[in-house]
Amino acid sequence: MKFNKKIFNLSAWITLLIAYVLPYQSQSSDGHSTYLGYPLSFLTINNTPIYKTLFMTESIDIFTLTIDILIVYFVMHFANVYLSKVKLNKGMNKTKDFK
């Protein structure tokens, strides 16, 4: 399997964007934090007073973020390989008809 930088970059951006679109768990059991990320939650936002900045209330789990990026990368990579094979097979079928 060959490493594709373009697919990896795209999967990293998709993972970060999905975190804000699809929350994993909306509230914790204590009701003071929100967990975001898909398929695993890697971003925690704590409910704090208004005078604190957003960066002071967030925490990111880098290990889980890396796993999420790799999951999205492998899904995109295998979909790309599968679609390439299907496209190649369709092209080969068309050339057989002309012979």
Domain of residue 60: give its range.
Answer: 5-98
Structural domain count, the chain: 1
pLDDT at 14: 92
Measured at the alpha carbon of residue 1, what is the angle toward residues 61 and 10, in degrees to the nearest 5? 45
Residues 6+ apart with CB under 8 A from 36: 19, 20, 23, 24, 42, 43, 44, 45
Q: What is the pTM of this model?
A: 0.73
Residue 52: pLDDT band with limits 50, 70, 90: low
pLDDT at 76: 93
Residue 74: pLDDT band with limits 50, 70, 90: very high
